[in-house]
Each structure stands twice: as structure tokens, then as C-alpha cells.
Amino acid sequence: MSIKVIAFDADDTLWVNEPFFLETEQKFCALLEDYLPHHSISQEVFRTQIQNMPLYGYGVKSFILSMVETALRISENTISITVIERIIQLGKEMLEKPIELLEDVEHVLHSLSGHYRLVVATKGDLLDQERKLRKSGLEHYFHHIEIMSEKKETDYQKLIKHLDIHPSEFLMIGNSLKSDVLPVLAIGGHGIHIPFHTTWAYEQIEHHIEHDNFRDFKTIKEILTHLNPEH
């Protein structure tokens, strides 16, 4: 391999993210359980998120707006202001969560820095992702931070052009086959999938990948053996 740049997804690759969404969703369902069963409310929130994605994109703020909209729809606009206030508060609590780094992340970044240019390539809300990166204490490892509205082939092509490298010199590491691996393989780059124990339904796909540029590891530490940065 002639890898020059290694890009890392952020949420659920460098630090914990999806469990906070699931925790908040359960609290939201409890607020509305007089209207529908919990599983039905979860389905309604997900439907609203998908519908709103072209307008709001990804992240906590989008999630808050989708919860409010779902509450109004489910209650036929009879939901109390107190519940709306509580939904907004749940969102603010998410935004103020401490950062929980995943195991071995800092060790891996330290081992790779100096041997490769490291970048962050993540989706989400700009302000929130910048805040999380700053609070993580990992910012100094990265040559470049790319907070993307989407992770499609054209988005990666723009990033690779900005980095002034060939796609074959680019490696993307993340927990989503759909967003972190398949688009990169499609443009001639390398992809490593490191699954997280829970993944947002929107990112879940059933896809068997057989590709020379693809690897599937159980832990982030395994990439050190694969890349062998000491040699």
C-alpha cells in the first residue's frame, strides 16, 4: 500500500455517540407514552428524521427539531409546553455530554502520527462536531478536519483533491459501511470497517464486501498490525 493520508470517522469510531441518542430517544418515548407504545414512537421519530434530513442534515439539533415535530404530530398539536421544554432540555443535555473516547483510540493516533497525515472526516453539525473534537483532546493529532454534510463519492473526491493526493493514497476508517467504506472503495481508495456495538438504523446495511482495498477489524488497535507504522 502507498497510503499517505488516514482519515477517521469521529462518532462511534473515536468516541461514543449513538448510545446518547438512544438514551435520549427512550426518555422522549416515555414523555409520549400516553399517546403511543414506545416502539411506535421510535418509528415515528426515525421517519421524521429521514424526512427532515435534506433540510436539517445530521446531529443533535436536527434530532431535537425532529422530536418536537414528532411530538406535535403524535399529540395532534395538544402536547403541553412543558413537554416541549423538556424535549429541548434533553437536546441540550446531549450537547453538553462529556466525551468518552473509545478504547485504544489515543494509542493508535499517537502510533500513526509522524508516519501518516491524519485527518478527521465526519458528518454532523459543524458547531457540535468542533466542540466534541476540542473536548476530546485529540485535535493536535490531525492535519485536517473535514466536517461533511454528506459522505458520498463526490464528497470524498473533494476531500482527496483538497489533500492533493491520489485516491489510492487515501484510507478511511469508520464504523459505517454505508458512509465510511463503500463510497471510498468506489473512487479507488482504501476502507477499514471497525463496527460499533450499536449503529443508527439509517447507517445499517447488509453488504458483503470482497475488495482488495477493504479490511474488517473488530478493534481499532488491529489497524496498527495491518499498517505496521514502525516500518
Q: Residue 196: pLDDT above 90?
A: no
Degrees to nearest 5, angle at CA 29 with 26 and 34: 150
Instruction: Please tell me the predicted confidence (pLDDT) of residue 130.
Output: 93
Q: Are 151 and 180 in contact (CB under 8 A)?
A: yes
The 10s digit of each residue's pLDDT in 200-221 is: 555 556 667 788 899 999 999 9
Answer yes or no: do 152 and 189 share one domain.
yes
pLDDT in tens, 96-114: 999 999 999 999 999 999 8
Kindly state whether residues 158 and 200 are assigned to the same domain.
yes
- Alpha-carbon torsion, ordered 228, 215, 170, 102, to 10 deg: -80
Distances (CA, A) of 209 to 37, 182, 214: 37, 9, 8
Q: Is there a single domain that holds both residue 85 and residue 12?
A: no
Element (H, E) at 65: helix 60-74
Same domain, 175 and 65: no
What's residue 230's pLDDT? 61
Domain that holds residue 31: 18-95
Count of CB atoms situated within 10 Å of the CB of 46: 16
Is 70:87 a contact under the CB 8 Å cutoff? no
Same domain membership, residue 220 and residue 169: yes
Same domain as 167, residue 67: no
Domain C-terminal end among 39, 69, 95? 95
Reported as a pLDDT band with limits 50, 70 and 90, residue 231 is very low
pLDDT > 90 fraction of the chain, expressed in percent and rounded: 83
Terminal Cα-to-Cα distance of the chain (whole angstroms): 13
Show which of 80, 95, 110 is a domain's final residue.
Answer: 95
Residue carrying C-alpha cell 500500500: 1
